[in-house]
Amino acid sequence: MKQTTRHICSSIIVIALIAVCLTAISNLVERKDSKIKYRDFFRQSKTLDVLFLGSSHAIDSIYPMELWHDYGIASYNMGGHGNRMPTNYVVLREALNYSSPKLVVIDCFNISSDRMYSDSIEQAHLSLDAFPLTYGKVQGIHELIQDRNLEKEFLWDFVTYHNRWDSLTRSDFVPDYSVEKGAEMNVNVAAPNAVSPLSPNIKFEENTNGTAYLEKIIELCQENRIEVLLTYLPFPSSASDQAEANRVNDIAQKYDVKYINFLELDDVVNYETDCLDEASHLNPSGGRKITDYLGTYIQNNYEIEFRTCDWSSDYAKYTAYKLSLLQGENNLRNYLMLLYDKNLSYDIKINATCEVMDDPLIQKLLYNLNSEYTITSMDSNIDFSIDVFSENKLIDTAQFDNSSRIRE
């Protein structure tokens, strides 16, 4: 009897050790993108008053750290690249196990889609992998992923990532996190596609998974006494995009929630200076304008307490990250775009013989800054000389020959 008991105990110990080893290996080889994005969400979930949902439009356009610093709003950007409404629904449902926000903001791009998740399975992993495997997550994955073999990837990461041994990097061993609270500042200034004339009378009429799950998100929030704000963030839109945005208004009215259709607001962003790419996304200049607009709107329309948490140390890391983008930028257009930041000041000197000022985009980027600059005589190889200040402290000096930064 004693020998049998010892065998059973030994077997249990061996099984437990194997489980621990497999878990450790799985944690090591899994891609860390999702955990990097959401680490601060889990660390600070109890302090969050606002959650943002959506696709990469939301990721590129809404900056929680600036909302906290400038408007006292504690928020997190839960947007996922290519996310469709069904994925947003599952993300929110899981997030509410950890957080009790007062407001959920949902960007409604792609509600005309019947897809359950992104076009890219890797992007779906980014949105979902970080959430612990609970019964609710299992249900959600089963709902989203119709391919049962593919479903296994989301239930046990090791199935997907077991062959990553040859691509492991330092970040796989040293935990990292998003200093942007889920947002992403991507740097570029692109010429936008032509924007179709506004058509308020056209409307997307079909019922899709996108419209159905948007309504499920609103109902989930209202069941939990969470206020809802719908948005349609700006980009160079087509007639079909506008039809989709107009349909959102019907849903907002049905549930008596507020809605901001940015496609109808021509004084918030300037596509000529604020586009990351030609078709869809905003760069940091555009993102800061959207963030400022939403910060003011939320302050004026919702009862969100000012700075219910102290993110001072996080904000210091965030400003250091912004400075690294500025100091690492070698393109004059991108540099001028990054200067659009209410927490920066600058002294811009332009060579009187500078030919780059003939570039219409350079002129528009200077106008975007709404700041004076000095035309002066400088060395012939220097066209622009820019000193940048934060809280009256010099943080960067940059000189440009034509459009390229001069590096010593």
Give the single-character DSSP code of 308.
S
Q: Is the pLDDT of residue 177 over 80?
A: no
Dihedrals φ, ψ of 345, to 5°?
-130, 165
Q: Each residue of 186-200: pLDDT tens digit?
A: 999 999 998 888 777
pLDDT band at 29 (very low <50, low <70, confident <90, very high): very low
Beta bridge partners of 11: none
Specify the pLDDT at position 137.
Answer: 93
Q: Could you give the CA distance from residue 344 to residue 394 in angstroms, rounded to a whole number?
A: 10
Does 286 or 149 have the greater pLDDT score? 286
The whole-number average pLDDT for the span 79-87 is 97
Q: Which of 92, 102, 317 is nearest to 213 (CA)?
A: 92
Q: Could you give the CA distance from residue 54 to residue 79 in angstroms, rounded to a whole number?
A: 5
Q: Is 141 left (phi over 0), alpha (psi -120 to 50) or beta?
A: alpha
CB under 8 Å to 166, separation ≥6 — which residues?
none
Q: What is the pTM of this model?
A: 0.89
Buried b (16+ CB within 10 A) or exposed e, 179-202: bbbbbbbebebbebbebeebeeeb
Contact 273, 333 (CB under 8 A): no
Q: Residue 117 has which token pair?
A: 């998740």
Contact 80, 91 (CB under 8 A): yes
pLDDT band at 99 (very low <50, low <70, confident <90, very high): very high
- Overall CATH class of domain 332-405: alpha beta
CB under 8 Å to 399, separation ≥6 — which residues?
382, 384, 385, 386, 405, 406
Q: Could you give the CA distance from residue 53 to residue 93 in angstroms, rounded to a whole number?
A: 12
Q: Which amino acid is residue 4, in one-letter code?
A: T
Q: Which of 73, 84, 138, 139 is nearest to 109 (CA)?
A: 84
Specify the pLDDT at position 25.
Answer: 42
Q: Each residue of 133-172: pLDDT tens digit?
A: 999 999 999 999 988 888 888 886 645 554 544 554 555 5
Specify the pLDDT at position 5.
Answer: 64
Q: Is the pLDDT of residue 327 over 90?
A: yes
Q: Residue 121 has which token pair?
A: 């399975």
The whole-number average pLDDT for the span 314-327 is 96
pLDDT band at 205 (very low <50, low <70, confident <90, very high): very high
Q: Residue 360 has which token pair?
A: 């219409």
Beta bridge partners of 230: 106, 259
The CA-CA-CA angle for residues 188, 190, 124, to 5°, reads: 65
Q: Is 194 helix (H, G, I), strand (E, B) or coil?
A: coil
Q: Could you give the CA distance from residue 76 to residue 96 in angstroms, rounded to a whole number?
A: 13
Q: Could you give the CA distance from residue 190 to residue 77 in angstroms, rounded to a whole number?
A: 24
The whole-number average pLDDT for the span 336-352 is 96
pLDDT band at 28 (very low <50, low <70, confident <90, very high): very low
Q: Mean pLDDT lowest for which of 5-9, 167-171, 270-274?
A: 167-171
Outline where 83-163 has alpha helix (H). 85-95, 121-128, 135-144, 148-155, 158-161
Q: Could you give the CA distance from residue 311 to residue 308 in angstroms, rounded to a whole number?
A: 10
Q: Is the pLDDT of residue 130 over 80?
A: yes
H or E stretch covering 330: none
Q: Is the pLDDT of residue 264 over 80?
A: yes
The whole-number average pLDDT for the span 199-227 is 95
Q: Could you give the CA distance from residue 251 to residue 43 in angstroms, rounded to a whole number?
A: 34
Does 197 or 15 have the greater pLDDT score? 197
The whole-number average pLDDT for the span 274-300 is 97
Does 21 or 323 have the greater pLDDT score? 323
pLDDT band at 21 (very low <50, low <70, confident <90, very high): very low
Q: Which of 140, 148, 139 is nearest to 117 (CA)?
A: 140
The whole-number average pLDDT for the span 206-221 is 98
The whole-number average pLDDT for the span 117-137 is 92
Specify the pLDDT at position 268.
Answer: 97
Long-range contacts of 323-331 (CB under 8 A, 24+ apart): 323/390, 323/395, 323/396, 325/185, 325/187, 325/284, 326/388, 326/395, 326/396, 327/396, 329/187, 329/398, 329/405, 330/404, 330/405, 330/407, 331/403, 331/404, 331/405
Q: Each residue of 50-69: pLDDT tens digit?
A: 999 999 999 999 999 999 99
Q: Which amino acid is residue 88, in one-letter code?
A: N
Specify the pLDDT at position 6.
Answer: 62
pLDDT band at 394 (very low <50, low <70, confident <90, very high): very high
For the purposes of burial, counting CB atoms within 10 Å of the CB of 349, is it exposed (0-12), middle (13-18) or buried (19 or more)? Answer: middle
Kindly state the percentage of the chain with pLDDT values over 70: 87
- Overall CATH class of domain 31-312: alpha beta
